[in-house]
Amino acid sequence: MSERKLKLTLSVYGVGGPAQHSLWKDPRIPKDASIDIRWYIARAQQAEAAKFDALFIVDSQFINATYPAHYLNRLEPLTLLSAVATHTTRLGLIGTASSTYNSPFNLARRFGSLDQISDGRAGWNVVTSFDTGTSRNYGLDEHLDYETRYGRALEAVEVVRGLWDSYEDDAFIADIERGIFLDPDKLHALNHRGEHFRVDGPLNLSRSKQGQPVIFQAGVSEEGRNLAAHVAEGIYAPGEDFDSAAEYYADVKGRLAAVGREWDDLVILVGASPVIAATDAEAQSLAREIYEADNDFDRKLAAFGRAFGAYDFSVHDLDAPFPDLAAEAEKGGRTRGTKILERAREGGLTLRETVLEFTQYKPSPFIGSPATVADTIERWFRGRAADGLNLRLRTPDDIDQFAAEVVPILQERGIFRTEYESDTLRGNLGLRIPENRFAVTSELAAASL
């Protein structure tokens, strides 16, 4: 227990993601930041200098003109992270890719390649895609329903992991004298036949020094929590308040034993947007200023549609009852969409009132002086509401401020590293290297002879 250390990852949103719609106006942000690989490399190097665990790149594959500026024009995650890998040595590299709109073989090869390029620092954030318009970008008329998407995700991860084990770690003999490069007995086809996928394999790529890329996932629904318990090694969790975060933490970790996993097989990271100033009052004032810069009703109305599959609310009377969009919520972001529908129905709210209620100012728990922010982080960590934070810091200056003013306090208190424990993502997160399933099977067979 004394060796447990806080984990920190950094999410970067270039010219501005959710709740950052006006960030592109900041003079410290280049207007092409979201497509400038040099900008990402510099942010990764800041994170590595501060001993963060990983850089995290989110993604989606559908937009319209109302989306945040960063979403409108940004780099594909795996391409981006492969470039960043060549300019870092310890920082983990976590990319988002949809299990709904990618084949397992392609995912296995792309993330396996990133894992080799980075020498064991890759992670896959598994998403099922809640933007329903994505389906039309892939030639489909309809987005898959919620349960199908999650069933497909579970099977996709199982297939990808099987493909990553195609070669046993000592398969490549490269014996010049005998003229043998590969031991063919240590190459294994998967021959998977499932509900959603038929994949033969093998994958034409060996495992990295960390065995396999780390699997990340996010989801608060029952399906999302069950998927996390089965396959996730890292979770991006909501962090609106301590009590709800602690409930989520205990619930998801409590599901691990039923599927044969240990408590420490999963690292839970809470999303956090710290605002730091010399005093608590100054930080609270700055946080309110940041909110007001984005407090535009038309923009919030447009963004509100994402929970319902990018639904266009502008076609409705703002002062009429909130429309019945149960079908749209089911195919989009069901958890948030259902919550919105239930609250609107229970309160008899109009569309305008619903949008205002769900987008009102709610200050983050991580606002204050450096000491106050460190106190809050320590409370959440020691109180088992989180194993770490996924930091959404707006500007390069904010990253430097957190690294210079908050990180040293966390280090002094003994909850955050002063040096990296490993040169792999698994090593730094304290996760085990997964055994190669085929090697284990071979060893068991040999032992029975």
Report yes or no: 81 and 93 within 8 Å, Cβ to Cβ.
Answer: yes
Measured between alpha carbons, how far is 15 from 35 in angstroms, rounded to an integer? 9
221 assigned to a ligand binding site? yes
Please give the single-letter amino acid code of residue 275. V
**Is 59 annotated to bind ligand?**
yes
SS3 196: coil
Q: Which helix (H) or strand (E) holds 123?
A: strand 122-127
Number of Cβ atoms within 10 Å of the Cβ of 83: 15
Biggest alpha carbon distance in the chain?
82
Q: Cβ–Cβ contacts within 10 Å for residue 363, how many?
A: 14
Do the annotations mark residue 361 as ligand-binding?
no
The Cα 437–Cα 444 span in angstroms is 11
**Cis, peptide link before residue 202, omega less than 30° from 0:** yes
DSSP-assigned beta bridge partners for residue 236? 269
The reply to whether 150 sits in an annotated binding site is yes
CA atoms within 13 A on the CB side of 2: 0
The closest of 342, 340, 345 to 357, measured between CA atoms, is 340
Six-digit token pair at 374? 């460190």
The answer to whether 229 touches 219, Cβ cutoff 8 Å, is no
* Closest by CA position to 407, among listed 21, 72, 52: 52
Residue type, 353: E
CA nearest neighbour of 214 among 148, 269, 171: 269
SS3 content of the chain, % helix, strand, coil (to 5): 45, 15, 40
Residue 243, C-beta contacts closer than 8 angstroms, at least 6 positions apart: none
Q: Strand 192-193 to strand 234-237: parallel, antiparallel, or no bridges (unpaired)?
A: unpaired
Residues in binding site:
59, 96, 150, 221
Residues in binding site for FMN:
59, 96, 150, 221
